[in-house]
Amino acid sequence: MSDRIVLSEMVFRGTHGVLPSERSEGQAFSVDVELHLSLRQAGISDDLTKTVDYRDVFDICRTIVEGPSHFLLEALAEAIAGELLARFEIEEVAVRIRKPEVALPGPLGYAGVEIHRCR
């Protein structure tokens, strides 16, 4: 499927990570999602009920990132992907999570994960 809805660089504050300071102090997480589904009927009809409302996707991502802690970005991405697949009639979802404030002994733009899940 080549049609996609993309929400890019959503930023939320969460308490995810292995280090106790990450889980108590929190930090920013940047999230991208791509929802793969046919957009033909929405495009023809100009009807929001024929597609996925961006506001709902944003709220799901925010609720999960700002919710209970995960040790791993992989688990956080799985939670987002699983909820999006459960809530919407989509064929596939891609989730990218970037963690820019990684505690490493040198400079790093971000650490991140990207997963793709299908029905």
Set 48, 99, 100, 116: catalytic member = 99
Strand order in the sheet with 111-118: 4-14, 27-36, 92-99, 111-118
* CA 76 – CA 64 distance, rounded (Å): 8
**pLDDT at residue number 1:** 60
Note the pLDDT tens digit of each residue in 58-113: 999 999 999 999 999 999 999 999 999 999 999 999 999 999 999 889 999 999 99
Run of H or E residues at 37: none
Residue 32 CA to its chain's centroid (Å): 5
* CA 15 – CA 81 distance, rounded (Å): 19
**pLDDT at residue number 2:** 86
- What is this structure's pTM? 0.95
What is the biggest distance separating any 2 CA atoms in the chain, rounded to whole angstroms? 54
Q: Which domains does the chain have, with CATH numbers?
A: 4-118 (3.30.1130.10)
50: annotated active-site residue: no
